[in-house]
Chains A and B, each alone.
Chain A
Amino acid sequence: MATAMAMNRIQHLTGSNNLVPDWMSKEVSTGTTIMAVEFDGGVVIGADSRTTTGAYIANRVTDKLTPIHDHIYCCRSGSAADTQAIADVVTYQLGFHSIELDEPPLVQTAANLFKEMCYRYREELMAGIIVAGWDKRRGGQVYTVPVGGMLVRQPVSVGGSGSTYIYGYVDSNYKSGMNKEECLRFTAGALSLAMERDGSSGGVVRLASISEEGVERRVILGNELPKISRA
């Protein structure tokens, strides 16, 4: 291990990388596919489960759907360390805010807290986050905070490295007015397609649906994924 560390330092200085595998020096990243869809009465969120350091899969069963409050979740993509740190801070801030208000927080509030942090520290961070949840004022909402710190509400949002491959599929298959089951199938289908094409996405599909009643989580294992592609 000491030899590897020494080699690492030499590599870093000389710039070559034959002596030590790339995953010993690469940052942990959730190269990923995340997605969230609004429906009347709530939201459906989904993510793959692969975390990579270079070519090594550090965690093949990652949970990228992180609770921020009772009815608000966030989907994380980008640097695993950055997104975990941001989510922890926002969870604290939102929890405090909710106690002050003495009522459940708004999804828009959570989204704005993420945006504030991601925009203020945009030079140091690498984080793409989708905030989704349910509140009494506006029902199910999806807000996307991509790298750079923009904030926009969308009925459907995809993110992460695998999302580029499914823009066409999502654009053509999304219809407004889908119910919860249709949204779950749509999300699982889109994530499966992305996982098949993106090397940084894979593992299992994690889904969650958030509504007034609460949060319902499920996992779709590799052999149970919808077989959409004919390969």
Chain B
Amino acid sequence: MSSNNNEWRSAAVSTGTTIIAVRYDGGVVIGSDSRASMGGEYVSSRVINKVVQVHDKIFCCMSGSLADAQAVTNAVIHKLNFHSMQMGEPPLVQSAASIMREFCYNHRDELSAGFIVAGWDRKKGAQVFDVSMGGMVVEQEFTIGGSGSTYIYGYVDAKFKPGMTRQQCVTFTTNAITLAMDRDNVSGGVVHLAVVTESGAERQLIPGNKLPVFQRI
């Protein structure tokens, strides 16, 4: 369909992506797809994990320019670690979101990356924060992000109910990412999940052949 097959060679690597996080009573479930694309034409990696652990019980999901997202995430891991050592206790999820926001806002003209920060802390339990591209922070019960998220707004609006169990949240997350991957050409691959509770964090990978199958129209 494109006349020049080499445009992707000069395009930046982007996580055209689908990311989602949802909290339930006792923890959070975080998920993402696994595709990194260049110029929307070439898949530079089909197995990257966009769910990054920034501390024992705090994770963040990356979207947008992969270089920017990785740089910010690494800076946040460093700063959060230092902050946690200074305070002498595990950091709050809000602190992680705050540090993330500092970077995103102060460098908003240079950066092109959006994040979801989610985890568990002793003060407020499970929390999900959406740190969008310009540096706005919003705490929500669940949030979706990335290019694939536009296709699932209707689905998550209809399907989410407060008071879901852990297993229902895992199903909700997996279904949402699968539906987005089916429609967004820059999201795809496998589904990476992480579940964070008081007792710790647990990662899960759902390969392509184990994803739910929806009626093909």
Query: Would A230 and B153 be within 8 Å (CB), given that A167-B183, A174-B217 are in contact?
Result: no
Tell whether A14 is near chain B: CB-to-CB under 8 Å: no
Among B151, B161, B182, max chain A CB count under 10 A is at B151
Contact A154 B217 (CB under 8 A): yes
Seed contacts A167-B151, A169-B154, A169-B158; 19 additional CB < 8 Å A-B pairs: A154-B217, A155-B217, A164-B151, A165-B151, A165-B153, A166-B153, A168-B151, A168-B152, A168-B154, A168-B176, A168-B183, A170-B217, A171-B182, A171-B183, A174-B215, A193-B154, A193-B157, A197-B157, A230-B157
Note all chain B residues with C-beta closer than 8 A to A171: 155, 179, 182-183, 214-215, 217
Note all chain B residues with C-beta closer than 8 A to A166: 153-155
Note all chain A residues with C-beta closer than 8 A to B214: 171-172
Supply 17 A–B pairs (Cβ within 8 Å), ascending by A. A155-B217, A164-B151, A167-B151, A167-B183, A168-B153, A168-B155, A168-B176, A168-B179, A169-B154, A172-B214, A174-B215, A174-B217, A176-B215, A193-B153, A193-B157, A229-B157, A230-B157
Give the contacts of A138-176 with B (CB-CB under 8 A). 154-156, 164-172, 174-176
Tell whether B160 is near chain A: CB-to-CB under 8 Å: yes
Note all chain A residues with C-beta closer than 8 A to B151: 164-165, 167-168
Note all chain B residues with C-beta closer than 8 A to A231: 157
Q: For the complex, what is the distance from the CA of A174 to the CA of B214, rounded to whole Å?
A: 9
Tell whether A196 is near chain B: CB-to-CB under 8 Å: yes
Contact B157 A172 (CB under 8 A): no
Among B150, B155, B162, the residue within 8 A (CB) of A230 is B162
Q: Closest residue to A231 on the B side, CB-wise?
A: B157
Note all chain A residues with C-beta closer than 8 A to B155: 166, 168-169, 171-172
Tell whether A228 is near chain B: CB-to-CB under 8 Å: yes
Q: For the complex, what is the distance from the CA of A26 to the CA of B161, rounded to whole Å?
A: 40
Note all chain B residues with C-beta closer than 8 A to A229: 157-158
Give the contacts of A92-120 with B (CB-CB under 8 A). none
Note all chain B residues with C-beta closer than 8 A to A170: 154, 217
Give the contacts of B121-166 with A (CB-CB under 8 A). 150-158, 160-162
**Binary interface encoding of chain B residues 189-217 relative to chain A, with 1 for a CB under 8 A from any of its CBs, else 0:** 00000000000000000000000001101
> What is the size, in residues, of chain B's interface with A at 8 Å between Cβ atoms?
21
Instruction: Tell me what chain A mostly uses at the interface: helix, strand, loop, or mixed.
Output: helix
Tell whether B170 is near chain A: CB-to-CB under 8 Å: no
> What is the size, in residues, of chain A's interface with B at 8 Å between Cβ atoms?
25
Q: Closest residue to B141 on the A side, CB-wise?
A: A230
Note all chain A residues with C-beta closer than 8 A to B183: 167-168, 171
Query: Would A228 and B215 be within 8 Å (CB), given that A171-B179, A171-B182, A172-B179 are in contact?
Result: no
Tell whether A36 is near chain B: CB-to-CB under 8 Å: no
Q: For the complex, what is the distance from the CA of A168 to the CA of B176, rounded to whole Å?
A: 7
Note all chain A residues with C-beta closer than 8 A to B180: 168
Q: Closest residue to A193 on the B side, CB-wise?
A: B154
Q: Closest residue to A155 on the B side, CB-wise?
A: B217
Tell whether A207 is near chain B: CB-to-CB under 8 Å: no
Among A165, A171, A194, max chain B CB count under 10 A is at A171
Cβ-closest 4 pairs across A and B: A168-B155, A168-B152, A169-B154, A166-B154
Among A155, A167, A169, A193, max chain B CB count under 10 A is at A167
Tell whether B34 is near chain A: CB-to-CB under 8 Å: no
Q: For the complex, what is the distance from the CA of A87 to the CA of B62, rounded to whole Å?
A: 45
Tell whether A189 is near chain B: CB-to-CB under 8 Å: yes
Note all chain A residues with C-beta closer than 8 A to B175: 172
Tell whether A190 is near chain B: CB-to-CB under 8 Å: yes
Query: Would A193 and B158 be within 8 Å (CB), given that A165-B150, A165-B153 are in contact?
Result: yes
**Binary interface encoding of chain B residues 93-108 relative to chain A, with 1 for a CB under 8 A from any of its CBs, else 0:** 0000000000000000
Q: For the complex, what is the distance from the CA of A170 to the CA of B217, rounded to whole Å?
A: 9
**Binary interface encoding of chain B residues 2-17 relative to chain A, with 1 for a CB under 8 A from any of its CBs, else 0:** 0000000000000000
**Binary interface encoding of chain A residues 187-231 relative to chain B, with 1 for a CB under 8 A from any of its CBs, else 0:** 001100110110000000000000000000000000000001111
Q: Closest residue to A157 on the B side, CB-wise?
A: B217
Note all chain B residues with C-beta closer than 8 A to A172: 155, 175, 179, 214
